[in-house]
Chain A
Amino acid sequence: MKKAATMLLALGMAVACISPAFAEDAEEFNLRACIASEPETLDPNLESSVDGATYAMHLFEGLMKYSPNGESIALDGGDSMDLLMPDYGQAESYEVSEDGLTYTFTLRDGIVWSDGQPVTAADFEYSWKRIVDPANAADYGYILNGVVTNATAIQNGEAEPDTLGIKAIDDKTLEITLEAECPYFIGLCGFAALMPLRQDVIEEYGTEWTNPGNMIGNGPYVLTDWVHDSYIEMTRSETFYGGDAGPDKITWYLSDSQTSMLASYQGDEYDFFDDLPTDQIETLTASGDAHAAPQVGTYYLYLSAKNIPDWRVRAAISLAIDRENITDNVTQGGQVPATGIVAKGISTSAGEDWTEVYGDVTTKALAEMYPDYDLETYSGRCELAQKLLEDAVADGYDTTATINYEFNTSESHKAIAEAIQSDVSDVLGLEISLNNSEWQTYTNNLAEDTFGLARLGWIADYDDPITYIELFTNGNSYNYGEWVSDEFTDLVNQAKALPGGEERDALLAQAEELMFGENGYPVAPLYFYVQQYCIKSNIKHAGWTPLGYFVFSNATKE
């Protein structure tokens, strides 16, 4: 009897030791999510990653914020995610001067930091000056360049940060002056890197101001714990003006192992994660766990103008790629074949979808130049591709040269590269060698332009077509293929000097079309992104901004 009791006691102790791992307070709603591994920083000014921005959007709030607009956006029609659109945040209202160059924001009443001190216009002024200060080497230091007065000069070290066009008129009034009219400026005011910050806290704690206990935020959540490389814990702020909606606590697990993430989700230790193993997408979709949300981003290939100087060869390669095959059979996540470099989801000045207004620009100019070919069909595009290559060969292009295709190490990039290699070989008979390298080496190779083809993806920073088109102007550091077109660059510069409107849209559309015409094709857009994610069916009203951020501050649990 005594022995049995001892055994029972031992068993009880063992269970007690194990059970805390699974124990959950029935009253507390702790949302457990994993969106990335350890962030480089939680300092809004210094972060540059999607995960860093996501954390900042929970801990801080800018002049503008993202709020649900009542739409659900899962591609499969589910109600797992609400679409979030720009809305007033810490600002209650704003006025724009007649010339469109001065914005005057009035802050809400009753907004306070997590230590109870009021949020003032000076907190925004400090943060914006801090991000453009070259001494801080912020990744997003350039975000205000060409937008806010003197930002470019300050970044280039030609002016002091204090000369930035932002001024706290009083505690509630903030005045921002622009260098030129900027149609996407209000969108920028909700950007995570431009959140207000407390100068006294940063000066007191230095780089450690982002530690739990030191960090003072003005957002819906407060940082309460951060076990590096393990998890970040946020608890709902008691001082936030928005009331007590959303989870009591959000635990962000930090991992980059897809296996571990999937197992944690299936083992009920996560409610949400967004980095799905490609080979599991079909199964997870069938089980109702995986969903896809449209994301404003384009996956594209650089076609090096230096290493493939004949534009007809570049155009032929672009035409030979079967984009539908890639989205249907390779990526399989609901991606949409690209119709231009500007991503689906970017708006025209009238608020319509850019890609729907301007259609497929990748073949528009060619259709006019070669009206005998049916470029609506893949077989028609292949015929034109062969014709263009023949013309190039007649002018001396050497088809025996192997084209170098560079990509950063990843199973999905590899699968896409192999599909393209096969298409180009089958249609054009050109040989492509595939070379992968890890990210740092890869970006170095990109900068040195040693490639014929190279992949990259671009998620929009703000809702304006210029975020894509500007990348290919002469001398731009992202113009890795070293394409040169004075006409294109002039058009972009003209557009940049104009306020938002039809005229500006027309110039940018003309520029985009020029990229896919004679002497063009610095790039072959492949598909527009979607963001896949898994979320437990009992979690509702999680939020998603098409620029790539998940927001859980309004999420509920059934």
Chain B
Amino acid sequence: MDMIAYVLKRIGVSIMTLLLVAAITFFLMNAIPGSPFMTEKSTPEQIALANAKYGLDKPLIVQFGNYIKNYLHGDMGVSLKMQEGTSVSKILFSQGKFTLSIKLGLLALLVAVLIGVPVGVLQAYYRGGWLDNFLRVLTTLGIAMPSFVVATLMLFGFAVSMKILPVQSNSLTTPAAYVMPVITLALSPFCRIAKLTRTSMLDSISQDYIRTARAKGLKTKIILFKHALRNSLIPVITYLGPLTAGIITGALVVEQIFHIPGLGDYFVSSILNRDYPVIMGTTMLLAALIIFMNLIVDIAYKIVDPRINIIKKGN
């Protein structure tokens, strides 16, 4: 029952958060100077005409009210600048931008977790050995290197010089197109997860219950993977929430460098172009995604460790 009440409460809060995000984004984006119709050669008269055409001449509060009303009816408006006249939902979904970004993000997340956790366990198991030391240097380097440096190095090494991978990943239609973007996006989270798992494993291993398990004569593998790892994963799971957001923002750079027509690159362009409906549509979508991921993480907490009480204070 605890769980159902919690989930319902969280969904309610999530909807409120989304509304708040919508309001803040709407008024902030209108507060910055500029107009979607401003070009090097546009006149004030032309801008006024275009504003009237798209209802941008109305008071802000009326515009916001109209936006929310239409949004609730499933209408996210039309692009004012980047694909003038095309509906935002079509741009985000039918043109595959959202799917591309999600495909790339999830794959990077999967790679980071699936490699990061075992590497962390391995480091903890061989603590102080050459493998641990080597991997520690490697993971520290991975965290320290900005993704655009990794991307550029790989681009010029594998694509430009060796020509074994394509420079442009485009719509990720071939397996080769995935390689560099996924590695770039997954490298930093993988290193963080490995470090986190190592620290957390070492912490668990020194706990009394592990000593008890050893005393009972259980095999090391069982102790590590059945008992220690389960507890060690809690900090990793905590990290997955912000990591999702990090991977989405990281995709902005990766999508631009590898020329992937995803959401990230489009989001940045929409802000620079003051394409208000696209900014709103993308922000709401990303906010919903991040809120949803955080919800999943909180639920996962409870599954990993049922002792955690997520409603009552003081736990």
**Is A20 part of the binding interface, using a Cβ–Cβ cutoff of 8 Å?**
yes
Q: Give the bracket for the number of chain A residues in contact with chain B.
A: 35 or more
Are B84 and A41 touching (Cβ within 8 A)?
A: yes
A229, B174: Cβ atoms closer than 8 Å: no
Q: Are B46 and A141 in contact (CB under 8 A)?
A: yes
How many whole Å from A69's CB to the nearest CB in chain B? 28
Which residue from chain A places its CB closest to the CB of B175 in the assembled complex? A17
- Which residues of chain B have C-beta atoms less than 8 A from A155's C-beta? 45
- Verify if A370 is at the interface (C-beta below 8 Å from B): no
Known A227-B261, A443-B38: A260·B256 in contact at CB below 8 Å: yes
Q: Which chain A residues (37-79) contact chain B, with CB distance < 8 Å?
A: 37-38, 40-41, 46, 48-49
Assembly CA distance A207 to B87 (angstroms): 10
**Residues of chain B contacted by A444 (CB below 8 angstroms):** 33-35, 38
Q: B76 in the interface, Cβ–Cβ < 8 Å?
A: no
Judging by beta carbons under 8 Å apart, are B163 and A229 in contact? Answer: no
Stretch at the interface among B67-75, B188-196, B265-273, B297-305: B265-273
Contacts of B38 in A (CB 8 A): 439-440, 443-444
Q: In whole angstroms, what is the CA distance A17 to B175 when docked?
A: 6
The answer to whether the Cβ of B39 comes within 8 Å of any Cβ in the partner chain is: yes
Taking a contact as CB atoms under 8 Å apart, the answer to whether A441 and B160 are in contact is no
Q: A519 in the interface, Cβ–Cβ < 8 Å?
A: no
Q: Who on chain A is nearest to B274 by CB?
A: A440
Give the distance in Å from the alpha carbon of A272 to the alpha carbon of B165 in the complex: 20
Output the nearest chain A residue to B261 by Cβ-Cβ distance: A229
Chain B contacts of A137 at CB under 8 A? Answer: 37, 46, 49-50, 53
Q: List residues of chain B with CB within 8 A of the CB of A231.
A: 170
Identify which of B50, B83, B274 contacts A38 (C-beta below 8 A): B83
Question: Contacts A229-B265, A263-B156 given: A139-B175 contact, CB under 8 Å?
Answer: no
B242-270 interface bits toward A, Cβ cutoff 8 Å, 1 = contact, 0 = none: 00000000000000111101000110010
- Set of chain B residues within 8 Å of A17, measured between Cβ atoms: 174-176
Q: Which of chain A's residues have a CB closer than 8 A to the CB of B258?
A: 260
Q: Are B84 and A269 in contact (CB under 8 A)?
A: no
Q: Are B163 and A456 in contact (CB under 8 A)?
A: no
Question: In whole angstroms, what is the CA distance A257 to B269 when docked?
Answer: 12
CB distance from B266 to the nearest CB of A (A): 6
Choose one: B159, B257, B259, B274; the contact of A230 (CB below 8 Å): B259
B28 to chain A, nearest CB (A): 14
Query: Separation in Å of the A271 CB from the closest CB of chain B?
Result: 14
B272 and A230 contact, CB distance less than 8 A: no
Q: Which residue in B86, B95, B174, B272 is a CB contact (below 8 Å) of A438?
A: B272
Within 8 A of B (CB), among A8-54: 14, 17-18, 20-22, 37-38, 40-41, 46, 48-49
Q: Complex: how many Å from CA A207 to CA B258? A: 30
What are 26 pairs between A and B in contact, CB < 8 Å?
A17-B176, A18-B166, A22-B163, A38-B269, A41-B84, A48-B41, A134-B49, A137-B37, A208-B86, A227-B170, A228-B91, A229-B97, A230-B261, A253-B168, A259-B155, A260-B257, A263-B160, A263-B167, A268-B163, A439-B38, A440-B38, A441-B33, A441-B34, A444-B33, A461-B41, A477-B45
Residues of B within 8 A of A (CB): 32-35, 37-46, 49-50, 53, 78, 81-86, 91, 95, 97, 152, 155-156, 159-160, 163-168, 170-171, 173-177, 256-259, 261, 265-266, 269, 272-274
User: With contacts A230-B171, A439-B34 known, what are 4 further pairs, Cβ within 8 A?
Assistant: A207-B85, A260-B257, A260-B259, A477-B44
